[in-house]
């Protein structure tokens, strides 16, 4: 048993030494330093995901999170295609399903499967035993039961860095970010999860301030705000350590609810603060605007400036930049197709999700989404079907052509975050008129 004090393992170390090339695999005694050395019994509850079988016993396992796991495995596999090796740290592995999938599907060279609850040990060991523990002289997987901050900090102190770190936490992810960044290789990926829906909804601004450094107010596109809050918090935490992080994709699922973001970390400073600022929403007119730090003094909405300034709410600082990289998502979609994960009976949901996320990446689209119920209530009409309003927005140039003005239609697409909502660059007042015109037709 290793005797390390929590003081020496503090995740709040303020220095970040240069990151060398990957060190040899975990020392052979790593197994012995886990808190529990005996396999415990577990009740048998067999699950299958993408053809792989595993038991979940009494561990925390959500079958509905399989899409989040699919995305993680695809991202890890894509990483391996361009790098010499793939070392994964599954910091909160539950029953070990992701570790198993990283090994079996993403062909990870090494997986460290950690879960703070040592009662999951027997379960994880038996699930992972489907994969030979050794590849030649090298261990392919190891199971430990430390607090996630402790194991990640220990890896960092041993200069044992990882390519891909999965932090699948309960509640907020923010207390694990610093040690995750420390344990990550440069150009490595971290997949973070938060289930902190209350903070995203703006109902606990003091909590969001404490966890993410962002004062969040209620806004109609709260779940997107949740993703932006999570990315913003990571951007700030990374900047403190001299790193910059870029979101490759951001995924919200109402099962939980769960907010997941895949971030790439590199060395760099927070010099470009264009995408780290403030978002305002006017409850009176329904329009939103993004503000940079140097525009802070000018936050106002023309409609409410004189009459009711209380209708304007501002949240931030948050990530105001793109939620996804379209080219990265296209690579993910292509890989999913190559693996036969897309198509009738196997992956319609995954295909739909990835295609929607790619559409959301259109640079013409602003942040946020517009709920059709909100437009209908402002227009005092019944909401038309989503497809009807979307095509009306996209064909908005018809009237302009009559006036011989060249004008493109508005950009519009569905949002993967909310089912009866659209992302569009059309102002709320025009959305209202279009909906009223549709009602009159």
Ligand X SMILES: C[S@@+](CC[C@H](N)C(=O)[O-])C[C@H]1O[C@@H](n2cnc3c(N)ncnc32)[C@H](O)[C@@H]1O
Shortest distance (Å) from residue 94 CB to ligand X: 3
**Binding residue (CB under 6 A) for ligand X from 45, 117, 126, 394:** 117
Tell me how far apart the alpha carbons of residues 141 and 101 are, in angstroms, rounded to a whole number: 12
6 forms part of the interface with ligand X (CB under 6 A): no
Site for ligand X in 133-152 (CB under 6 A): 147-148
Q: Which of 59, 178, 60, 167 is nearest to 112 (CA)?
A: 167
173 vs 359, beta carbon nearer ligand X? 173
Residues 6+ away with beta carbon under 8 Å from 224 = 252, 323, 367, 368, 369, 415, 417
Site for ligand X in 75-94 (CB under 6 A): 92-94
Tell me how far apart the alpha carbons of residues 244 and 108 are, in angstroms, rounded to a whole number: 25
Shortest distance (Å) from residue 168 CB to ligand X: 4
Task: Give CA separation, 121 vs 60, 62, 144, 145, 400, in Å.
Answer: 13, 18, 8, 8, 66
Ranges of H-type helices in 287-325 = none
170 vs 293, beta carbon nearer ligand X? 170
Task: Give CA separation, 396 vs 23, 103, 383, in Å.
Answer: 58, 50, 18
- Among the listed ranges 54-62, 179-187, 216-224, 361-369, the one in contact with ligand X (CB under 6 A) is 54-62
97 forms part of the interface with ligand X (CB under 6 A): yes
- Among the listed ranges 61-69, 182-190, 265-273, 379-387, the one in contact with ligand X (CB under 6 A) is 61-69
Task: Give CA separation, 70 vs 73, 190, 305, in Å.
Answer: 5, 15, 47
251 vs 291, beta carbon nearer ligand X? 251
Shortest distance (Å) from residue 24 CB to ligand X: 25
Give the pair of three-digit tokens for residue 3. 């005797």
3-state secondary structure of 228: helix
Shortest distance (Å) from residue 95 CB to ligand X: 6
Tell me how far apart the alpha carbons of residues 39 and 197 are, in angstroms, rounded to a whole number: 35
Q: Which of 81, 150, 151 is nearest to 113 (CA)?
A: 151
**Binding residue (CB under 6 A) for ligand X from 19, 61, 104, 351:** 61
Site for ligand X in 214-273 (CB under 6 A): none
118 forms part of the interface with ligand X (CB under 6 A): no
Q: Residues 21-40: x/- map of binding to ligand X (CB under 6 A)?
A: --------------------
98 forms part of the interface with ligand X (CB under 6 A): yes
62 vs 203, beta carbon nearer ligand X? 62
User: Torsions phi, psi of 106, nearest 5?
Assistant: -90, 0
Task: Give CA separation, 307 vs 2, 104, 218, 281, 375, in Å.
Answer: 66, 61, 21, 16, 22
Size of the site for ligand X (CB under 6 A): 17
Tell me how far apart the alpha carbons of residues 393 and 412 are, in angstroms, rounded to a whole number: 7
Shortest distance (Å) from residue 228 CB to ligand X: 22
191 vs 410, beta carbon nearer ligand X? 191
Shortest distance (Å) from residue 151 CB to ligand X: 8
Bond prior to 257 in cis (omega within 30° of 0): yes
- Among the listed ranges 60-68, 102-110, 225-233, 317-325, the one in contact with ligand X (CB under 6 A) is 60-68
Shortest distance (Å) from residue 259 CB to ligand X: 13
Q: Which of 75, 83, 154 is nearest to 112 (CA)?
A: 154
116 forms part of the interface with ligand X (CB under 6 A): yes
- Residues counted in the chain: 441
96 vs 233, beta carbon nearer ligand X? 96
Shortest distance (Å) from residue 267 CB to ligand X: 27
93 vs 263, beta carbon nearer ligand X? 93
Site for ligand X in 162-191 (CB under 6 A): 168, 170
Tell me how far apart the alpha carbons of residues 113 and 128 are, in angstroms, rounded to a whole number: 9
Binding site for ligand X (CB under 6 A): 59-61, 65, 69, 92-94, 97-98, 115-117, 147-148, 168, 170
């Amino acid at each position: 048993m290793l005797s390390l004090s929590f003081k020496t393992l503090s995740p709040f170390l303020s220095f970040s030494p240069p990151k060398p090339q990957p060190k040899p695999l975990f020392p052979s005694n790593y197994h012995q330093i886990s808190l529990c050395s005996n396999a415990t019994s577990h009740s048998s509850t067999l699950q299958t995901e993408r053809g792989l079988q595993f038991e979940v016993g009494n561990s925390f396992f959500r079958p509905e999170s399989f899409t989040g796991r699919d995305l993680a495995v695809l991202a890890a596999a894509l990483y391996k295609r361009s790098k010499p090796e793939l070392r994964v740290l599954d910091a909160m592995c539950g029953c070990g399903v992701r570790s198993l999938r990283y090994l079996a599907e993403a062909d990870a060279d090494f997986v460290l499967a950690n879960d703070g609850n040592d009662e999951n040990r027997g379960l994880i060991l038996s699930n992972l035993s489907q994969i030979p523990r050794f590849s030649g002289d090298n261990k392919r997987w190891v199971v430990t039961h430390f607090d996630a901050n402790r194991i990640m900090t220990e890896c960092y102190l041993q200069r044992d860095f990882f390519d891909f770190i999965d932090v699948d936490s309960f509640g907020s992810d923010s207390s694990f970010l610093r040690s995750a960044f420390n344990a990550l290789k440069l150009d490595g990926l971290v997949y973070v999860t938060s289930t902190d829906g209350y903070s995203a909804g703006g109902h606990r601004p003091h909590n969001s301030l404490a966890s993410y450094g962002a004062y969040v107010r209620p806004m109609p596109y709260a779940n997107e705000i949740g993703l932006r809050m999570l990315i913003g918090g990571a951007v700030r935490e990374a900047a403190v350590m001299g790193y910059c992080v870029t979101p490759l994709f951001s995924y919200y699922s109402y099962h939980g609810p769960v907010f997941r973001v895949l971030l790439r970390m590199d060395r760099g400073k927070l010099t470009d603060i264009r995408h780290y600022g403030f978002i305002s929403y006017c409850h009176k007119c329904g329009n939103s605007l993004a503000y940079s730090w140097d525009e802070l003094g000018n936050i106002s909405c023309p409609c409410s400036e004189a009459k009711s300034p209380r209708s304007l709410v501002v949240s931030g600082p948050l990530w105001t930049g793109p939620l996804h990289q379209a080219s990265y998502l296209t690579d993910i979609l292509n890989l999913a197709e190559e693996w036969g994960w897309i198509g009738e009976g196997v992956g319609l949901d995954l295909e739909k999700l990835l295609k929607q996320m790619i559409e959301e990446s259109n640079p013409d689209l602003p942040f946020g989404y517009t709920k059709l119920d909100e437009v209908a209530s402002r227009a005092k009409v019944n909401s038309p079907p989503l497809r009807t309003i979307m095509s009306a927005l996209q064909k908005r140039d018809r009237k302009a052509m009559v006036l011989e003005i060249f004008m493109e239609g508005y950009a519009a697409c569905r949002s993967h975050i909310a089912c009866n909502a659209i992302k569009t660059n059309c102002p709320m007042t025009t959305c209202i008129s279009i909906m009223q015109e549709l009602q009159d037709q």
